[in-house]
Amino acid sequence: MSRSSPVGSPPDVGVLLPAAGLGERAGGGTRKQFRPVAGVPLLLRSLQLFAGHPRVAAIVVALPPADAERPPPWLADVAGPRLRVVAGGATRAASVGAALAALDPACHIVLVHDAARPFVARETVDAVIAAAARGVGAVAAVPVSDTLKRARGDARVVETVDRAGLWRAQTPQGFPRRVLEEAYRRAGASALEATDDAFLVEAAGHPVELVLDTSDNIKITTPEDFVLAEALANR
């Protein structure tokens, strides 16, 4: 498990923010990524830390095609010339692939971060960058603390799963750029169904480490998650 931090390195990190989903489970009418959390759009909250990070040289945001043509002005206000907006795809992996293809070639380290995770800690980002700079994949993660049950289709419990060694993968996930690009090339069309970039990197035979994350780094998916996010933002 990695937890070291980078120091004194030049800007060489590219950040990919897939934000092209419709967010239908979140309800509310407005696209989830544009809905406010304590008065600040969700996507903007997720973008701000990376926009102010000294190692970040470029940020690519993948939006729904119509929004990519007319992106919200606050994106450029925060990220400035380092920002590029692209049209995302029908799946998360398709959006990541489009953003990766548009990333400045000078970026040798790539972070992929869920736009719906607005509370990632700077310490976590630093540790993921440090691991990727050493040549391995890195996944922000937290140990599973709940008791896990495996069930049949009718919800009848089959067994209680041993949670020892189990972690819940979060983001950011960081990789040497060549490693992530190779993983997407090798996966081909099957990459479009992946919900986790580290899975593709693992499948390509590259090592991946876990970086201890915090429980605050929630992914906002449902209306109830927005209520929790408001509480975290106002804490």
Q: Could you read off the pLDDT of 136-150 as tens digits, one per residue?
A: 999 999 999 999 999
| Cα gap 166→160, rounded to integer Å | 13
User: Across all residues in the chain, what is the average pLDDT?
Assistant: 91
Q: In Å, how far are 145, 169, 194 from 33, measured between CA atoms?
A: 29, 21, 21
Structure tokens at 37: 């959390």
Across 213-231, average pLDDT:
95
Strand partners, 209: 138
Cβ atoms of residues 75 and 86 within 8 Å: no
How would residue 15 be classed by pLDDT, with cut points 50, 70 and 90?
A: very high
Report strand pairing: 83-87 vs 56-63.
parallel
Give the helix/strand (H/E) hosting 175.
strand 167-176
How would residue 193 be classed by pLDDT, with cut points 50, 70 and 90?
A: confident
How would residue 28 be classed by pLDDT, with cut points 50, 70 and 90?
A: low
Which residue in this structure is represented by tokens 């120091």?
A: 7
Cβ atoms of residues 171 and 114 within 8 Å: yes
Cβ atoms of residues 49 and 6 within 8 Å: no
Give the helix/strand (H/E) hosting 16.
strand 13-18
Which residue in this structure is represented by tokens 């939006």?
A: 63
pLDDT higher than threshold 60 for residue 17: yes
pLDDT higher than threshold 70 for residue 1: no
